Chains A and B, each alone.
Chain A
Amino acid sequence: MAGLSGILEWAFLVPLLMVISFVVVGLAGTRLKRLEYGGWIAVLFAGAALVVGVLVAAAEMLSPGQYVNVQYTWFQLPPAAGTFPNGFRLVAGTLVDPISALMLLVVTVVGFLVMLYSIEYMHHDRGLARYYAELSLFLAAMTGLVIANNLFEFFLFWELVGVCSYFLIGFYYEKPSAASAAKEAFLVTRVGDVMFLLGIFLYFYTYALAGPGNGWAASGFVFTNGNQPFLAGAMGGNSTLLTVAGIMILGGAAGKSAQFPLHVWLPDAMEGPTTVSALIHAATMVAAGVYLLAVTSLFLGFTATDQLLIVAIGGFTTFFAATMAVVHSDIKRVIAYSTISQLGYMVLAVGAGFAMVGLFHLFTHAFFKALLFLAAGSVIHAIGTQDLFKMGGLRKPMRITAAAFAIGGLALAGIPPFAGFWSKDDILGGVYSQLGTHPLYWPFFLLAFAAVFLTAYYIFRAWFLAFSGDGPRDPTLPHAHEGSWVMQVPLIGLSALAVGSGLLIFWPNFQSLLLNGAGAAGIPPVFGPTDLALSGISVTLGVAGILLAWRLWGNGRVYVLPESSWAQPVRRLLLNRYYFKVGYDWIGQRGVYSVARAADFVDQFVIDGTVHGFERMFAALSERLRRIQSGVVSDYAAYVVAGLIAVFVLLLLVAPYLVTLVGGA
């Protein structure tokens, strides 16, 4: 099927279509009331993008290992002395390779489904034109990021993704909490962005001088279709500067993917519409971070220290986020913490050297997480609350939703044969195989393992609370009902994917995406269950978690932790999210803002005060000098005589001294 590979050069159509959608909807949306203020147009474009995305993925699958690079020079410098002796060029281009094809598939599929789902879900909201325009731009940015062919372009779209999420999280801007959450999301990820930026500089700088030749700068720092990362080839695998660069990239990824300690923004981002949450959590925003790590790992390479750090961050976050999910009562927040936790797995995988396994988990996770969110959205749409403790018994009126949520939950909990099992199992297996690398891998591996249990527990706690039992705990809730086909189609489609996407790994064409994407770097990944004992333990843990959830929450039960329990402080700590947000707010308000006020004081009173002091001095001097004009001519004569004496002093004493001082004529 060589004919299909021609589509690879047209991959830029995906973001372009969404940009067009953004422009059209953004400009004309308000006048298109009958088309859901442009919603249908956006769906149309998203569909077109989906088609292109699927075609690209198919082409890549059919002729594995294709790298197609199309680029446009953004700006360039002629060769000149300095850091970039052979010139310097920044380009914008598309690089279609197995991993970007994989990501394109994820983004377009989830994006299209979310867009479709929104048509009904958002129907009653105001500002729909803005919503669809921003959503289109969001997808454009994400797809652009996915097919970016260099880090600079990557960063460009990365920032666009950030700003779109900012607007979407703050969609209900009239709610102060939404506006605040949007700002928080932007700011926290901005911290990561700044580190990312420095990482880019470090890579540009290092490889332009000592990497695969100076040509890298002149050619636009493009990701090359190398057989191994730059690092291994150029630096012998290690360099302090590159370690720092890796840490910076990790920082960037941590910001976007909400890894510890930059995780605070993601739960608050639930202020946006649920559809947006689905998109952010599944395919776009947070996926970008992991994708960045994967790309860096594959093309540039991490040093061993970096890898340890990434493993640590990923492993710890996995467990850390899961603990918080255990106690929360907001259905979306529970899912949000699960996202952080799952992202931790992916980061862990990349850190251990299995970037492709991480991406595989990203792939499966995208579907079941989108499914969970859309299902949760369906619930919220039906009864208008997000509080699990008010829900109950929704299984009967909302069968499809309940089933979808259950499928998603099972996938999340890693129960075979659902999608999550295959990918998560590969991660755990992969990390397990690398435990010998460094003794410090052990604790994080164990944390990740423990998180399997917690995951199963909290997601089914949520399911039981919402769907089991006889009826809602809060009788004032409206009568629940299932949404129309527009909402059901995405649920069903995603359910299918949540079941089946993991199994795709056994399809050689699909597996070729993951195998070739590795670029033969590092440890060759092995897909499918390898260590049955390990898989057994993890599945057992998952089942145990579900059982515990059923024991405590099943059938409408509500477990209340005794007030005197030793666990109460822990529960409070978890409910307060380890006080991270409080701490950050304190730094922001008490710390930075106080410094700003103090600086303002200095500006107004010290710097300006000095100037005004001079001014007053001049005025006083002028006033005093004025008094010598007494009007009495004798005084004037006295000035003349005094001046005469002064001239004598100058001529006879001062000036000769000065002249001898400077050395005569």
Chain B
Amino acid sequence: MDLGSFAGPFLPEILLLAGTLFIFLLDVVGVRSTERVGAVAVAVTGLALLFVIADLGFAPLAFLATIPAGQIDAAGTGSALYAFTSLGLIFQAVFLLATFLVSLASLSRPSQDRGAPIFFGLLVLATLGMLLVAIASDLVFLLLAIEVTSLATYLLVGYTRKDPRSLEAAMKMYVIGALSTTLSFFGASLLYGAYGTTNLAAIAHVGGAGGVPVLVLLGYGFLIVGLAFKATLVPFHAWAVDVYDGAPTDVTAFLAGGSKKVGIFAFFLVFLAPILFVRTGTGSPFANGAIALGPILQITLGVLAVLTMTVGNILALLQKEMKRMLAYSSISQAGYMLIGIAVGTAPALAGATLQIFAHVFMKGAAFLLVAGVTAWGIGPLIDDYRGLGTRRPVVGVAFALMLLSLAGVPLTIGFVSKFVLFSAAVQAQGYFVWLAVAGLLNSALSVFYYARVLRVMFFEEPAAEKFPAGAIVGGSGPSELPAGGFGYGRAAAIAIAVIAIVAVGIYPQPVLGAIQAAAQHFVAVGA
């Protein structure tokens, strides 16, 4: 086996690993300026993104493809630890995109920040973990890959080590994260005990020989809880609000835009096989066959999804702080995404994936924008945003677009994703229609808190003392900077997000078609 053909498919991962090591090396040699270190991260993630897109079969980039076509969506052997699925590749692209945007925007962080190498290094390392999650086909591989991301993000959250809020957030995330990790490994151990393997595809099939129902259900129960931490499902979400609030806002953007999707995709990976196995009707994993595992899991996940979006929304209603409001909205969005696996059909997975894709641009970019605006001296409260829309129309409109997209207003990407998702739920018929109803009612509820921000931004007069003129970090006046003083990196990241929100919102076919095809393969392989 020559190294090229073995390592080739892992080119994006290797790139990121090299990037991480290079950045840590820069730290050692004392190169710590944000721009230089960040440039490495941007370059590495951007390049990796290109490779992933090429692997996805995007024709203009075909020459960059490194994974042999036969290896993608190949039927599982039942023993491999990793496998390339096109849905996984799409998720890799989503993760890389999130990191790319965050690192791009972080180029505009204060350049005297001595933690820049650590920040970017951990960022790239966490992304590497996420990429590995996306190709996992083994439970332990999956959980360990998640831990790569998790440990890196604990440290990212606390990396502004002079800020007690940041460290408190890191501590909270650590405690709940470690607890959840323990629980998920415990669940994995139970499943291992039941089936004697940890291969995800094999688990469901092996069990047909004579599994143990309660042990399996307990195992899946532990796994649900463990993964729910990452995906911020209610009631495992409480940490997320504090952490999103306390973490440096760019890290929050990464958490919301990137790392939480790891949890959702882990749900896809872990639960698709048991759900599909029963759904295809080839038999029950249980000896007595009286209870079908698939519907049980679907109901449980469905309840969690509804609970998550409802509680997230209700709590967001009364929030006075911008970041916490966005955090709660992020939680409720996780509920929508979970619908995908709760329904478990290819269309639903496609819808959820699109929702995740959209969320990078909506929520991730929103946090990036909040970070930029905070740097202008605008306070943490929603009321502090008074008059922003009229003072800085470009920023206001961009933020408004993100919020409208989050609310699911037509002609934005958020609408398309919700539309496809809920359509898929209805298409699945049966009690899944209620998931669509719950989702839609929740999106109606969510409109209130988004609309409140819009009202504050556009319809209320600014409070003068909250908006010091010329308080733009970086020393450049707004006349020189195209995006009103965010700095080029952040402005570019936000611009990309806004373009994506509108473009995909108006013509989603290219993105949606790719996702749908991937989801179909995913389901076909998983079954």
Contacts and interface: CB of A to CB of B under 8 A. Distances in A.
B291 A625 contact: no
A2 interface: no
Contacts of A655: 295-297, 299-300
A618 interface: yes
B281 interface: yes
Contact of B176 (A629, A637, A660, A664): A637
Contacts of A658: 295, 299
Interface string A629-665: 1010101110110111011101110111011101011
B176 A640 contact: yes
A655 B293 CA distance: 10
A124 interface: no
A622 to B, nearest CB: 5
A523 interface: no
B183 interface: yes
B318 interface: yes
A629 B318 contact: no
B179 A637 contact: yes
B198 to A, nearest CB: 20
A628 B172 CA distance: 15
B217 interface: yes
Contacts of A651: 217-218, 220-221, 224, 296-297, 300
A652 B214 contact: yes
Interface in B164-181: 171-172, 175-176, 179-180
A665 to B, nearest CB: 4
A621 B303 CA distance: 19
A656 B214 CA distance: 11
A563 interface: no
Given A625-B314, A644-B183, A651-B300, A633 B175 contact: yes
B225 interface: yes
A640 B228 CA distance: 9
B473 interface: no
Interface in B344-401: none
A646 B225 CA distance: 10
B interface SS class? helix
A597 interface: no
Nearest to B316: A622
Given A629-B242, A648-B218, A665-B279, A643 B235 contact: yes
Contact of B318 (A622, A637, A639, A648): A622
B102 to A, nearest CB: 25
Interface in B291-321: 291-292, 294-297, 299-300, 303-304, 311, 314-315, 317-318
Contacts of B214: 652
A638 to B, nearest CB: 9
A665 B295 contact: yes
A662 B299 CA distance: 12
Nearest to B291: A656
A203 B135 CA distance: 79
B10 interface: no
Of the listed residues B214, B217, B228, B229, the one surrounded by the most CB atoms of chain A closer than 10 A to its CB is: B217
Contact of A633 (B171, B220, B292, B296): B171
Given A647-B225, A650-B300, A662 B172 contact: no
A662 B294 contact: no
B500 interface: no
A622 B315 contact: yes
A654 to B, nearest CB: 8
Interface string B143-178: 000000000000000000000000000011001100
Contacts of A665: 278-279, 281, 292, 294-295
Contacts of B239: 633, 636
B507 interface: no
Nearest to A646: B235
A637 B224 contact: no
B311 A629 contact: no
Contacts of A642: 235
Contacts of B431: 662
A662 B236 CA distance: 29
Nearest to B171: A633
Interface residues of B, number: 44
A633 B172 contact: yes
A34 interface: no
Contact of B238 (A622, A629, A646): A629
A659 to B, nearest CB: 5
A438 interface: no
B241 A629 contact: yes
B238 A639 contact: yes
Of the listed residues B179, B220, B222, B300, the one surrounded by the most CB atoms of chain A closer than 10 A to its CB is: B300
Nearest to B311: A625
A643 B236 contact: yes
Nearest to A632: B172
Nearest to B222: A644
A626 interface: yes
B450 to A, nearest CB: 16
Contacts of A573: none
A618 B314 contact: yes
Contacts of B303: 650
A618 B176 CA distance: 29
Contacts of B304: 647
Contact of B295 (A629, A636, A643, A664): A664
Contacts of B235: 639-640, 642-643, 646
Nearest to B279: A665
B238 A621 contact: no
Interface string B232-271: 0011101101100000000000000000000000000000
A619 interface: yes
A627 to B, nearest CB: 10
B278 A640 contact: no
Contacts of B221: 644, 647-648, 651-652
A626 B315 contact: yes
A623 interface: yes
A642 B172 CA distance: 18
Contacts of B294: 665
A306 B279 CA distance: 74
A221 to B, nearest CB: 49
A628 B229 CA distance: 17
A624 B527 CA distance: 44
Contacts of A654: 299
Contacts of B299: 650, 654-655, 658-659
Contact of B300 (A626, A628, A640, A647): A647
A225 to B, nearest CB: 62
Nearest to B224: A647
Contact of B292 (A640, A647, A648, A659): A659
Contacts of B296: 651, 655-656, 659
A637 B296 CA distance: 26
Nearest to A643: B235
A89 to B, nearest CB: 44
A643 B225 CA distance: 7
Contact of A621 (B171, B179, B314): B314
B314 A622 contact: yes
Given A629-B242, A631-B242, A655-B300, A640 B318 contact: no
Top 7 closest A-B pairs, CB basis? A665-B292, A636-B238, A655-B296, A655-B299, A643-B235, A659-B295, A633-B172
Given A619-B317, A640-B235, A644-B222, 20 more contacts: A629-B238, A633-B172, A633-B175, A635-B238, A636-B176, A636-B239, A637-B179, A640-B229, A643-B228, A644-B221, A644-B225, A647-B300, A648-B217, A650-B303, A651-B296, A651-B300, A652-B218, A655-B300, A660-B291, A665-B281
21 contacts: A622-B314, A625-B311, A626-B315, A633-B175, A633-B239, A636-B176, A639-B236, A640-B176, A640-B180, A640-B235, A644-B225, A646-B235, A647-B304, A650-B299, A650-B300, A651-B220, A651-B221, A654-B299, A655-B300, A658-B295, A658-B299
Interface of A: 618-619, 621-623, 625-626, 628-629, 631, 633, 635-637, 639-640, 642-644, 646-648, 650-652, 654-656, 658-660, 662, 664-665
